[in-house]
């Protein structure tokens, strides 16, 4: 059973009707408000991320996509509401519980985060050395398996400086996967890559999600490419969840806000703050 908000049923204030999550839900936002200082980024947002699927999170710049991701990892606590991730609640009861939860997440950062003084092999091995006591032969086997999974079986001896942008992104992906997390989080995984490298990364996200039985949450500005790869889409706009459903439902929608975003029109219900370079709620009628 798929678990998501039916955005075609609207509450009086224009928010999607919220449905309680079921066993097929990996992440749940329950009337969550997220703020950075005095600025509210998301207000009373409710949405579910289905388990075992690839979910793309899209929306205007500055709408709160990365903020949503930070709430999932526990880096940002909600000022109201609750976030449930893999049956754990944020805020968690203790830092130890939060660290245990984070070990069940793999995160692919925008900037890769590879350590330049370590080889490709040692970058991928780092989480195993930090969090396990595996014997060296088994550790080496696991690292080689992950490098092979991202198509870099022969690159273990290379340094990050010797890798292309696409290769570095794949090494970072292998490192994020090395502890076999059930949940993968991707923060703008296509930034700075050429179209071919983008295609390779998207194909890897799709293949690894299916072959390893993962749940994948992908924050991205690459709308067209991500819609071809994703099972489920969440659109963040105007300090809330504008849409949550299948890619087919999104592309068929005649909602003015969704059409403005998908068509790239400057006029519509999504405004633009040119001082911040971010989307805002339009004030015009």
| Residues 6 or more apart whose Cβ sits within 8 Å of residue 282 | 268, 269, 270, 271
Q: What is the CATH number of the domain that holds 280?
A: 3.40.50.300
Per the structure, the complete domain to which residue 223 belongs is given by 1-104+182-196+212-285
* Same domain assignment for residues 145 and 235: no
Per DSSP, 65 falls in state H
Residue 204 in any domain: the answer is no
Consecutive H or E run containing 33: strand 25-36
Nearest partner of 207 among 173, 159, 167, 248, judged by Cα: 173
If you search the block for the tokens 């032969």, which residue do you land on?
Answer: 137
pLDDT of residue 266: 84
Total-model pTM: 0.85
Same domain, 173 and 234: no
Quick one: which of 208, 210, 226 has its CA closest to 218? 226
Same-domain check for residues 77 and 191:
yes
As beta bridge partners, residue 16 has 10
pLDDT at 87: 84
pLDDT at 233: 97
Q: What is the pLDDT of residue 188?
A: 93
Q: Are residues 89 and 30 in the same domain?
A: yes
**What is the predicted pLDDT for the residue at 276?**
47
Cross-sheet strand order for the sheet of 80-85 = 39-50, 25-36, 80-85, 88-90
Residues in the chain, pLDDT under 50: 1-21, 274-285
Tally of domains in the chain: 2
Residues 34 and 66 in one domain: yes
pLDDT at residue 110, rounded to an integer: 81
Q: Are residues 80 and 155 in the same domain?
A: no
* Judgement on whether residues 171 and 249 belong to the same structural domain of the protein: no
Amino acid 274: pLDDT: 41
Same domain assignment for residues 227 and 100: yes
């Amino acid at each position: 059973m798929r678990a998501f908000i039916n955005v075609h049923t609207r509450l009086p204030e224009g928010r999607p009707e919220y449905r309680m999550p079921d066993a097929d839900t990996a992440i749940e936002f329950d009337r969550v408000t997220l703020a950075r200082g005095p600025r509210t980024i998301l207000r009373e947002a409710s949405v579910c991320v289905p388990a075992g699927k690839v979910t793309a999170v899209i929306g205007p710049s500055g709408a709160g996509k990365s903020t949503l991701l930070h709430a999932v990892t526990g880096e940002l606590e909600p000022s109201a509401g609750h976030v449930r991730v893999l049956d754990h609640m944020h805020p968690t009861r203790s830092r130890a519980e939060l660290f245990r939860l984070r070990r069940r997440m793999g995160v692919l950062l925008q900037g890769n985060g590879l350590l330049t003084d370590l080889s490709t092999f040692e970058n991928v091995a780092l989480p195993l050395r930090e969090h396990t006591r595996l014997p060296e032969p088994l550790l080496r086997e696991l690292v080689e398996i992950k490098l092979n999974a991202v198509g870099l079986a022969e690159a273990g001896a290379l340094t990050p400086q010797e890798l292309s942008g696409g290769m570095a992104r794949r090494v970072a992906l292998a490192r994020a996967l090395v502890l076999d997390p059930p949940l993968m989080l991707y923060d703008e995984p296509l930034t700075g890559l050429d179209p071919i490298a983008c295609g390779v990364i998207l194909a890897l996200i799709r293949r690894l999600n299916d072959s390893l039985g993962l749940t994948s949450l992908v924050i991205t500005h690459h709308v067209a490419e991500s819609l071809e790869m994703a099972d489920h889409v969440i659109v963040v706009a105007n300090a809330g969840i504008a849409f949550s459903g299948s890619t087919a439902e999104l592309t068929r929608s005649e909602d003015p806000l969704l059409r403005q975003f998908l068509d790239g029109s400057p006029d519509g219900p999504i405004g633009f703050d040119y001082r911040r370079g971010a989307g805002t709620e339009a004030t015009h009628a």
